[in-house]
Amino acid sequence: MRVFAFLTVLLSQVLPGTQSGQGPKPAARPPYSIGQNGLVVPDADAKSKRNGTRVRSDFEEPSPAPGGASAFPARVPKQSAPRDEEPAVGKLKPPENLDLGSALLDVFHRVGHPSAFVGLGSVVAKWRLTVFDAYGAESAVRDLVQESDLGNPSRDRLSYPAAQKFYGRDGGATWVVFHGMDWPALEQEAREELELFGLLLRMPWCFADTQRFVVYPRESVVQDGRRYTKVRIEARSSGDEIIGPRDSGPAPDTYELTAPADSYEPTELRIQRANGTRRSVKLLEWRDVGGVRVPMRRIFVTPDGTQALEIVATQLEPRQSLPDSRFHPPGR
């Protein structure tokens, strides 16, 4: 079961989870054992492969639908919700569900309105993950396919074709299929990876949902002679008041988004989970996808600034026709 636990091992060992009251782990760490973790050793031109976004890659294509039609038509028309329909909990119904006083309005003006992002519908993203050792050398690469319904904050599917491992969630239900069998022992690992990749794909637009997040006033700081804006975001817990910050209770997940004050295009996302785990993600190479700007390259860095993990989009296709069954375990 541990052979293919790629991201769990990665995020717990490569990216130091700094706990409250603890300092960062020493920078020197032993390289990963490729054979034991089941990771693929990159070939000689792996670096050149990850430096650009390809329109197509060598991922396994989805199986054809019955009758020979493709399971993923190129594009489907965007469907507008009726004006009198009430927004479902956890979904954006712009502009009613967007706080017009939000500190993120300038960011949305730069990267696209949340309604435009939700309008991308279902998305199929293909990622190339590159792991780096303690000395900055490439240790291993892995390919991942992510399928997500952008109109639902917790509807995602992750596929590792080489490992024959699939994770999925639809609402609160999480499932794992490993080599064709249900594998409940990996559900906690799957839940964490689905949450992480779901956030990375949907941010910063997901933070506009006032039912799930509270956005604090932005702060202005100067770094290396350049002025930046920092915005702190806090996740709401079940039972929190929708208006204003939370009153009390356990510490929630918090996020900090940093963007240059002259462009408002985010350059970094810092994540602090309720358990004290911290991660820092650099957001690079923003490009237009279906009318919004999306970071095509994300780099996880350690507290000392060492590059630990790089995630590059090799293909990102919006407005795909994904049936409900894609987010449910096979045979259910």
pLDDT higher than 70, residue 320: yes
> Stretch 118-127: mean pLDDT, rounded?
97
Q: Cα torsion at 143, 161, 203, 176 (round to 10°)?
A: -140
What pLDDT shows up at residue 136?
86
pLDDT at res. 167: 96
- pLDDT exceeds cutoff 80 at 74: no
Mean pLDDT, residues 238-257 taken together? 71
pLDDT at 198 over 60: yes
Q: Phi/psi class of residue 170: alpha, beta or left (left: φ > 0; alpha: ψ in -120 to 50)?
A: beta
DSSP state for residue 40 in the 8-state scheme: B
pLDDT-based confidence at residue 16 (cuts at 50, 70, 90): very low
Kindly indicate the confidence band of residue 72, based on its pLDDT and cuts at 50, 70 and 90. very low
- Which has more confidence, 267 or 332? 267
Can you give the pLDDT at residue 97? 56
Structure-block tokens of residue 204: 């910063």
CB 146, CB 156: distance < 8 Å: yes
d(CA 236, CA 255): 12
The SS3 of residue 326 is: helix
Contacts of 71 (CB under 8 A, 6+ apart): 62, 63, 64, 65, 321, 323
Confidence of residue 197 (pLDDT cuts 50, 70, 90): very high
pLDDT given at position 305: 87
CA 305 to chain CA centroid, nearest Å? 21
Residue 312 corresponds to which amino acid? V
Length of the chain: 332
Q: Which percentage of the chain shows pLDDT scores above 90?
A: 55
Q: Is the pLDDT of residue 202 over 70?
A: yes
Q: Is 8 exposed, middle or buried (0-12, 13-18, 19+ CB in 10 A)?
A: middle
Q: Where are the alpha helices (DSSP H) in the chain?
A: 6-9, 34-37, 46-49, 105-111, 114-118, 187-202
More confident residue, 285 or 236: 285
pLDDT-derived band of residue 241, with 50, 70 and 90 as boundaries? low
Predicted local distance difference test score (pLDDT) of residue 303: 87
Per-residue pLDDT, 249? 65
Instruction: Please provide the average confidence, as pLDDT, over all residues in the chain.
Output: 76
Helix (H, G, I), strand (E, B) or coil at 188: helix
The answer to whether domain 6-19+31-42+92-327 has CATH 1.20.1640.10 is: no
Flag whether pLDDT at 253 surpasses 70.
yes
pLDDT bin (cut points 50, 70, 90) of residue 125 is very high
Q: Which is nearest to 142 in space by CA: 10, 284, 1?
A: 10
- pLDDT per position as a tens digit, 21-62: 444 444 444 333 333 333 333 343 434 444 444 333 333 333
User: What's the rounded mean pLDDT across residues 71-100?
Assistant: 43
The Cα–Cα gap between 56 and 120 comes to 19
Q: Using 50, 70 and 90 to split pLDDT, how confident is the model at 245?
A: low
Residue among 286, 274, 268 at smallest CA distance from 231: 268
- The yes-or-no verdict on residue 295 having pLDDT over 70 is yes
- Going from the C-alpha of 326 to that of each of 71, 169, 250, 322, 323, the distances in angstroms are 10, 10, 35, 7, 6
pLDDT higher than 90, residue 294: yes
- The reported pTM is 0.71
Give the whole-number percent of the chain exceeding pLDDT 70: 66
> Above 50 in pLDDT, residue 63?
no
pLDDT in tens, 149-189: 999 999 999 999 888 999 999 988 899 999 989 999 999 99
